[in-house]
Amino acid sequence: MTKNEKMDSKAAKTLLANGKHIRAYFITNLAVTLVRQTIATALGCVLRAVSGPDTSFVDPVTSRDFPILWETRINISYSNRSETVVAYVVKDEEIGFPLLAGMDTILALQGALLVKGNEKINPLFGTTEPSDLDPRPVLATGLCSSFVSREWAAEQEAVATPVDQENFYDPLTNTTLQLYGMVDVQANDDPTFPAFVADIGTGLVLRINYFERTDVQLKFPETTISWPQTEIVRPYRPPARSIAGPTCPKCGLNGHPTPGVAFKEGGYVMPRGADLPRGAY
């Protein structure tokens, strides 16, 4: 796997689907939820036939066309929430993860995208028309690099520099994008960062190189996935200090009476009982 094929492990989680543990990826740049055919079968999903326009889904961000085999419903439990969501069944080789939980599932589980504490809504249905480009960026947990469309670069009069690689491959959605160079992008008042120029269906897609510079969170009721911080921060606990006294057989520490045993200063130990002389312990 090359450098641009890496996936962000923070967004990959184990959750309950129809009562079974499976690996899922919370992908904010995908509007719908996709599941592999073998996984849908293993989960005992009821498969419903699709017809007409429902036989494919075109990702509005990457313009990738996913052939849909069936439509199904999956009960998903995560972060103390349980919801039944619509999922589209695709061939196993179409996606790089057992289950890609898109924005529909994230919203059903009461997930929210936060940037510096402010909730953001992903404009997942942008247009490639230069005059109608949505100025809002897409926050993409499913891509390891940021992108701009050629129309966006032209509108912003951004100067593109050549890149060594001709294509970018995304293993999550099995998508290959042709690259036309790289530009420097500035989002709000944040420092500039590089982004590839490619044929994408929206103006601006922000990913890990932006997340690493900004406080971005995917927040659920009882779980928060955050960048650049780790998901769980455990408080520092100083090591226990040993003090004088007999060793407790349960906790292995010194300095407190063992159940059923009394001790007094000087190390003299005797059984604890009702008939012990007064002052012996």
Q: What is the mean pLDDT of the chain?
A: 81
Q: What is each CA distance from 228 to 61, 191, 204, 256, in whole angstroms?
A: 24, 15, 20, 44
Question: Is 188 in the same domain as 102?
Answer: yes
pLDDT tens digits along 2-14: 344 455 688 999 9
Question: Is 112 in the same domain as 26?
Answer: yes
Question: Is 153 in the same domain as 247?
Answer: no
83 touches 108 (CB < 8 A): yes
Start-to-end C-alpha separation, the chain: 68
Q: How far apart are CA 172 and CA 67, in angstroms?
A: 15
Please indicate, yes or no, if residue 3 is contained in any of the structural domains. no
Identify the CATH number of the domain in which residue 168 sits: 2.40.70.10
The total domain count for the chain is 2
Question: Is 145 in the same domain as 86?
Answer: yes
Residues 6+ apart with CB under 8 A from 63: 199, 200, 201
Question: Is 190 in the same domain as 261?
Answer: no
pLDDT tier at 62 (50, 70, 90 boundaries)? confident
Q: How far apart are CA 134 and CA 115, in angstroms?
A: 18
Among residues 190, 207, 227, the one where a domain terminates is 227
Question: Is 129 in the same domain as 261?
Answer: no
Query: In 185-236, which residue ranges form alpha helices assigned H by DSSP?
Result: 208-211
Cα four-point dihedral sign 194, 199, 203, 204:
negative
Among residues 207, 227, 247, the one where a domain terminates is 227
Please indicate, yes or no, if residue 215 is contained in any of the structural domains. yes
Residue 137, preceding peptide bond in cis (omega within 30° of 0): no
Closest by CA to 68, choosing from 83, 88, 87, 49, is: 88
Question: Is 198 in the same domain as 254?
Answer: no
Question: Is 30 in the same domain as 151?
Answer: yes
pLDDT tens digits along 86-131: 999 999 999 999 999 999 999 999 999 998 888 988 876 544 444 4
At residue 75, the 3 state secondary structure works out as strand
19 touches 76 (CB < 8 A): no
Please indicate, yes or no, if residue 86 is contained in any of the structural domains. yes
Q: Which domain holds residue 172?
A: 9-227
Return the pLDDT at 48: 97
- Number of residues assigned to the chain: 281
pLDDT tens digits along 180-230: 999 999 877 777 889 999 999 888 999 877 887 888 999 999 999 988 744
Please indicate, yes or no, if residue 184 is contained in any of the structural domains. yes
Please indicate, yes or no, if residue 1 is contained in any of the structural domains. no
Q: Side chain identity at 124, as an amino acid letter? A: L
Return the pLDDT at 249: 61
Please indicate, yes or no, if residue 160 is contained in any of the structural domains. yes
Please indicate, yes or no, if residue 233 is contained in any of the structural domains. no
Return the pLDDT at 256: 55
106 touches 218 (CB < 8 A): yes
Question: Is 140 in the same domain as 197?
Answer: yes
Assigned token pair, 53: 């326009």
Please indicate, yes or no, if residue 26 is contained in any of the structural domains. yes
Question: Is 101 in the same domain as 45?
Answer: yes
Question: Is 255 in the same domain as 184?
Answer: no
Residues 6+ apart with CB under 8 A from 39: 22, 98, 99
Q: How far apart are CA 31 and CA 123, in angstroms?
A: 10
Question: Is 159 in the same domain as 210?
Answer: yes
